Amino acid sequence: MSKPEKLIENGIRLDGRKPDELRPIKIKVGVLNRADGSCYFEFGGNKVIAAVYGPREVHPRHMQKSTSAVVRYRYNMASFSVEERKRPGPDRRSIEVSKVSREALEPVIFQEYFPRSAIDIFVEVLQADAGTRTAGINAASLALADAGIPMKSLVSACAVGKVDDTLVLDLNKDEDNYGQADMPIAMTPDGKITLLQMDGHLTRDEFREGLEMAKSGCMAIAEMQKAALLEKYSGQIGGDAIE
């Protein structure tokens, strides 16, 4: 596809959203049987699935830490997830995404409860549509909760960007490709920022405004994450006993 003439017309984006509107989100917690925790997350055209294994033994052994758990995060894109087939396996981009995503989640995990063990997070992008790392973090956060890993809070993530000189929340693929800036952000419900990346061109004021915009987006996602957890567990907590 070539660059559309305008990405925003009369304040409405090409996919019909307002500048500060998120794409539709669908969440399902506990979708895999073998994993200790799992989550399926749809974020617009993104379809990602996260699995958590652990706390479990660390292999290779030399990676283990004597005072806390090691958290490992593998972000992987399926070869069929993008327009042009992606060569399978980790590339430089996915290694970087894995690193920043792991760091986005580590602060909320009580790692010191599990010395000499590993908490493994696997995120598989089945379909990519701009914003896969944020979708992955949202899914992984719920998969951790589903696995029963003690956490201080959930982590929610979304991106802010600039297209046609306007700040927009949650870029879609065209906006990502032809936009002027992209800034993925992850935060805890109390507003602490655990992931911040940016590329493109933003003025200082646009940056400040964008940060606030991302905050409101993350808060909205946090509510949906909570609802998805409740959907799975509210029936189980005491529910059976009462009947």
Partner 1 sequence: MAELRKDYIYNLMIKGEREDGRTFDQYREITIDTNVIEKAEGSARVKLGDTHLVVGVKIQPGTPFPDTPDQGVIITNLELIPLASPVFESGPPREDAIELARVVDRGIRESGAIDLSKLCVTPGEKVWMVFIDVHVLDDGGNIMDAASLGAIAALMTAKLPAKRFDLGEDSPVPIRDVPVAVTAVEVGGSIMFDPSLNEQSIAGTKLTVISNQDGCLSGMQKSGVHPLTTEQINYIVDNAIEKAKELRQKFLEI
Among 126, 151, 193, 224, binds partner 1 (CB under 8 A): 193
| Dihedral class, residue 32 (left if φ above 0, else alpha if ψ from -120 to 50, else beta) | beta
Among 191, 237, 240, 242, binds partner 1 (CB under 8 A): 191
Contact pick of 3, 87, 204, 240 for partner 1 (by CB under 8 A): 204
Q: State yes or no: residue 46 binds partner 1 (CB under 8 A).
A: no
Within 10 A of 104 (CB to CB), how many other CB atoms are there?
28
- Give yes or no for residue 95 binding partner 1 (CB under 8 A): yes
Stretch that binds partner 1, among 5-13, 20-28, 139-147, 192-200 (CB under 8 A): 192-200
Beta-bridge mates of residue 73: 121
Nearest residue (CB) to partner 1, 72 versus 226:
72
- Out of 211, 216, 224, 232, the only residue in the binding site for partner 1 (CB under 8 A) is 211
Distance in angstroms (rounded) separating the CA atoms of residues 50 and 64:
23
- Name residues whose C-beta falls within 8 Å of residue 179's C-beta, 6 or more positions apart in sequence: 7, 161, 162, 163, 168, 171, 200
Kind plus residue range of the DSSP H or E element containing 242: helix 239-242
Q: How many residues bind partner 1 (CB under 8 A)?
A: 31
Specify whether the CB–CB gap between 109 and 119 falls below 8 A: yes
* Binding stretches for partner 1 (CB under 8 A): 92-93, 95-96, 98-100, 103, 106-107, 183, 187-188, 191-204, 207-208, 211, 215
